Structure 1
Amino acid sequence: MSILWHITSLLLLRFCVPGFCMHDGIVDGKVSVPHSRPYMVYIRDTISEQVCGGFLVREDFVMTAAHCGRSPVVYLGVNDTSLLPDGVAVHPTPHPKFIMRPGYDIMLLKLKTPATLNKTVNTITLPKTGDGEISKNCMVMGWGALDYQCDSLSSVLKEANVTLLDSKNCGTTDTLCTEGKIGPAKGDSGGPLVCGGVAQGIVSFYTQEFNGEYCTRYTHISKYLQWIHDVMNLSPLQQHETWKDKLDKPI
């Protein structure tokens, strides 16, 4: 792992120290209307206590970033994290090629108890193909850090509008990017980049550019549609074998 990667990503938005926070929460964002984003999922790792976002893509599957822990519990229908419902246990399947560096930062969490879909808990649409056109006007959301000292997280869901950069300015074909002082912070990893009502990306990591702006990187979901399809359609026995191998590997 290069020194540059270690400094800029700090385990993909997981860690933050005073004076080096990526953003002040969802910068220039606003508090979401309660339960207006019913696909949003609050995730907490039972070992590291790391907090992430995620999103419901089927009644029995949540999508998030692979770096969001190896022992996650998910909370559905959350607006205010000080009023959490009972957590739902999951079987995590991180992408097999993810090794804490750019790329493959995607994980599927199979809910042991499928969600009951209603007004406060519902799914979001995934891309249909790997090469479809994406709206440049997008939105990010999460329960991320509130200040540059990273000493507290937002208790309520926040959201902000962001604009996609052209793919040629992003670096890799499996990554989407936004740039500026608006975007996700510590605690927002794993949340969706929503463009035109479709979850097109997963909050992954950031770099600070020469101009002082921050470039947020998102896993490009459409590049992983075959893997997503394969995981979500495995038999229960196959799923158990996949998860068993992954749970013993620190990420």
Structure 2
Amino acid sequence: MHPLHTFLLFHLLMYLGRSADGSEIINGELAPENSMLYMASVQNSKGHHLCGGFLIREDFVLTAAHCDPGITHVVLGTHDLKSVNDDNKISIKDTDIHKHESYEKVTTGNDIMLLKLSKKVSLNGRVQTIPLPTTGMNNQDACQVAGWGAIKTDGRAVDDLRVVDVSIINLDDCTKEWGRLPANVICAGGYGTDKGFCRGDSGGPLVCNGKAVGVVSFNYKGNCNYPNVSNVYTDVSMYLPWIDDVLNCSK
């Protein structure tokens, strides 16, 4: 083969290899600085990002139940986890971690948790709450998911918040793909597309029409290349009574 052809073929294969990794959350982009002001990074005592979350009241963050071990605080008010200071950190007591009482593991459902903050945060140009849905959602809704998770399978969490557009997938079709799913979930992204979430995005919101309709729960064996099945989210609309009970008991 001519040396020039060898050179071009090598670089083509390198390009395809990078594309197969899902290298740009997955195939997303940096979140605009003044967007998604409800996003929270759920962290441990070493300041390591564990999961995403989102502010639903001045003193409560909603996240996934499987994010529980090691939580000490959340970070609000920044998209860049390298620029965190004490003003961004709000501590959480062990007694203020409210995991859904029926949660056992992600594949059996009820993967939802509320974190009561040690103080109410001030809502301003850096921090805002996001509304929850009042009913179920329309399968035609255009949605987004965001987080600080890995941007490829087996990758590390990133410092800058990323966001990607995803489409809702019919639940019957999604169940056929998976074979079995827990109750009260939403499917979006993954199957039939190269966009979705990855490790470290757990607990973040699925946002449709300005409302947090889902909580990032699980994908297929941590595979972020989406070979065959959809991403799965906890359906927030099915847990509104539980959320109201926790909030009302903590005023």
**TM-score in same-fold range (> 0.5):** yes
Task: Indicate whether 1:213 and 2:217 are aligned.
Answer: no
Task: Indicate whether 1:186 and 2:199 are aligned.
Answer: yes
2:148 maps to 143
1:226 maps to 241
Task: Indicate whether 1:125 and 2:131 are aligned.
Answer: yes
| Distance change in 2, residues 1:121/1:188 (3 Å) | same
CA contact (8 A) 1:59 1:117 kept: yes
- For residues 49-85 of structure 1, give each alpha carbon's deviation from its aligned partner in whole angstroms, at most 9, with x where no partner exists: 5611000001011000001123421011121100113
Partner-residue secondary structure (3-state), 2:246? helix
Superposed displacement of residue 48, structure 1: 10
Task: Indicate whether 1:163 and 2:167 are aligned.
Answer: yes
For residues 195 and 153 of structure 2, the distance between their equivalents in structure 1, rounded to whole angstroms, comes to 13
Partner-residue secondary structure (3-state), 2:243? helix
Alignment of 1:35-184 (within 5 A): 35-46=34-45, 49=48, 51-72=50-71, 73-86=73-86, 87-90=89-92, 91-102=96-107, 103-129=109-135, 131-133=136-138, 135-150=140-155, 152-171=156-175, 172=181, 173-178=183-188, 179=190, 180-184=193-197
Structure 1's unaligned 5+ residue stretches are: 1-21, 237-251
2:9 maps to none
Aligned residues: 212
CA contact (8 A) 2:139 2:169 kept: no
Which residue identity lines up with residue 81 of structure 1 in the other structure?
Answer: L
Partner-residue secondary structure (3-state), 1:67? helix
CA contact (8 A) 2:39 2:204 kept: yes
Superposed displacement of residue 135, structure 1: 4.6
CA contact (8 A) 1:50 1:69 kept: no
Q: Give % identity.
A: 37
Superposed displacement of residue 133, structure 1: 3.6
1:240 maps to none
TM-score normalised by L of structure 1: 0.77
Which residue identity lines up with residue 175 of structure 1 in the other structure?
Answer: V
| Distance change in 2, residues 1:94/1:58 (3 Å) | same
Partner-residue secondary structure (3-state), 1:207? coil
Superposed displacement of residue 125, structure 1: 0.7
Which residue identity lines up with residue 34 of structure 1 in the other structure?
Answer: E
| Distance change in 2, residues 1:147/1:119 (3 Å) | same
Superposed displacement of residue 213, structure 1: 3.1
| Distance change in 2, residues 1:62/1:235 (3 Å) | closer
CA contact (8 A) 1:181 1:214 kept: no
TM-score normalised by L of structure 2: 0.77
Which residue identity lines up with residue 111 of structure 2 in the other structure?
Answer: D
